Copies of this chain bind each other. A is one copy, B any other.
Amino acid sequence: MIIIVKQEHTQKDLDHLIKWVQDQGLAVDVSKGANSTILGLIGDTSVIDIDLVRSLDIVENVRRIQEPFKCANRKFHPEDTIVDVGGVKFGGDNFQLIAGPCSVETEEQIIGVAQAVKAAGATVLRGGAFKPRTSPYSFQGLGGTGIELLLKAKQATGLPIVTEIMSVRHIDLFADVDLVQIGARNMQNFELLKEVGRMGKPVLLKRGLANTIEEWLMSAEYIMSEGAHDIILCERGIRTFETYTRNTLDLSAIPLLRELTHLPVVVDPSHAAGIARLVRPLSYAAVGVGADGLMIEVHNNPQKALCDGAQSIKPDEFADIVRNLDQMLPLVGKKKVGAQ
C-alpha cells in the first residue's frame, strides 16, 4: 500500500502517521522526493482499512498495491492445486464434468439421471437437496432426504456427489457428501464459510451475483483460513442490466483467475443464462477460455422438473456435447474428460 502525504504536512503529523502504521504490525518505507513524500507499507496490508487511511487529514491519497488474499494467491503457491473429489481430480490438465438435475426429486429420477450422465461422460453427480429459492412459496428441496437419495445414486453409479449447503444447522447431513457447494447467494455468508472450512472436505464455491473476482477470492480465503485447502471456484454469471439472459456469464474471469490463484475453476453454463439452448455454445466457450470443468444441469424430463426446468438439457444432448468437448480439449492443453 502506498500513502501519498499532503505537501503541507508537519514532521510531527508524519511521525504520528508512521507510528500508527507500525502499530498495525507493518514496516514503513519512507520515500522523500523533491515535491512529495510517499510511504510504502510493507507487510500484510490486508489488515488496513483503506477508506480510513484516506480520511486522515495528512493523507493526500492512498493506493492498494498487493492483492488482499494470501492462501488463494498464486504468488505464494505457484503450482496448480489439484482437488481430489472422491478420486476425481480437478485442476492441472484434468477436465471434469459435473452433471445432474437441479433438484433431487425421487429415487427413480436421481438414479436414472445419474446413470445417464455417467454413460455420457460425467465424472461427478450434482443434485439439489436444499434449494435457495427467491420465493418462500417455491419448492425448497427434499432436504436431508434428498441427500440420502443422492447417496443411493452414488452407490448405484460410483459417481462422487456435490450438493449445496445452506445452513450451518445441516453440516452433519453432509458427512458423506464428496464436495460441499456454497451457492452464489451465500458467497458472503461468512459464518457459513467459516464452518464449512472446518469440515475437512473439498468445497465448490460459486461466485455471488454481484461479487467481484477479488471478493470471490476473499471468500475462498475465509474457507482456507479455517484449514480447508481444496476449493474449486465456479463461475455462474453476474448480474448486469441485460435482461435477455438471466445473468451474464463472465468468461474473462477464468483466464484472470488462472493468473491470480492456484485453485481450479469450473463454469456453470446452465444457471448463467437460464436457457437450455445456450448450454452447448457456452460449454464450448468455457473450454476455449481454459476452464477446468463444467457443471451442467441434466434432467430426464426437463418439462416436469420441479425447478429450473427451463435451463436443463436432456441426457442425449449432454452426451453429444461431451463428444465434441473431447475433441476440443487437446487444443487447450487438457486431457479428455475424466482422463487421469
Contacts and interface: CB of A to CB of B under 8 A. Distances in A.
Interface of A: 2, 4, 29-38, 40, 42, 44, 46-47, 49, 51-52, 54-56, 60-61, 63, 65, 68-69, 130, 132-138, 166-169, 185-186, 188-192, 194, 208-210, 212-215, 218, 221-222, 225, 238-246, 248-256, 259, 272-278, 281-290, 302-303, 305, 307-311, 324, 327-328, 331-332
Contacts of A282: 251-252, 255, 289
Nearest to A283: B288
Nearest to A208: B210
Contact of A285 (B37, B132, B288): B288
Contact of A281 (B68, B166, B290): B290
A189 B189 contact: yes
Minimum-distance CB pairs A-B, first 6: A210-B210, A31-B31, A284-B288, A51-B310, A29-B33, A167-B191
B191 A166 contact: yes
Contacts of A33: 29-31, 40
Copies of this chain in its oligomeric complex: 4
B42 A35 contact: yes
A220 to B, nearest CB: 10
A243 B51 CA distance: 13
Contacts of A250: 240, 242, 248
Nearest to A132: B190
Contacts of A68: 134-135, 137
Contacts of A286: 285, 288
Contacts of A61: 65
19 contacts: A4-B65, A38-B38, A47-B137, A49-B138, A51-B309, A54-B310, A55-B302, A60-B65, A68-B134, A167-B192, A169-B191, A213-B244, A240-B248, A243-B243, A245-B253, A245-B256, A251-B251, A284-B331, A328-B331
A305 to B, nearest CB: 7
Contact of A273 (B225, B252, B307): B252
A262 B277 CA distance: 17
A188 to B, nearest CB: 4
B166 A190 contact: yes
B243 A285 contact: no
A132 B130 CA distance: 24
Contact of A38 (B31, B35, B214, B305): B31
A214 B138 CA distance: 15
Contacts of A242: 212-213, 238, 250, 253
A61 B66 CA distance: 9
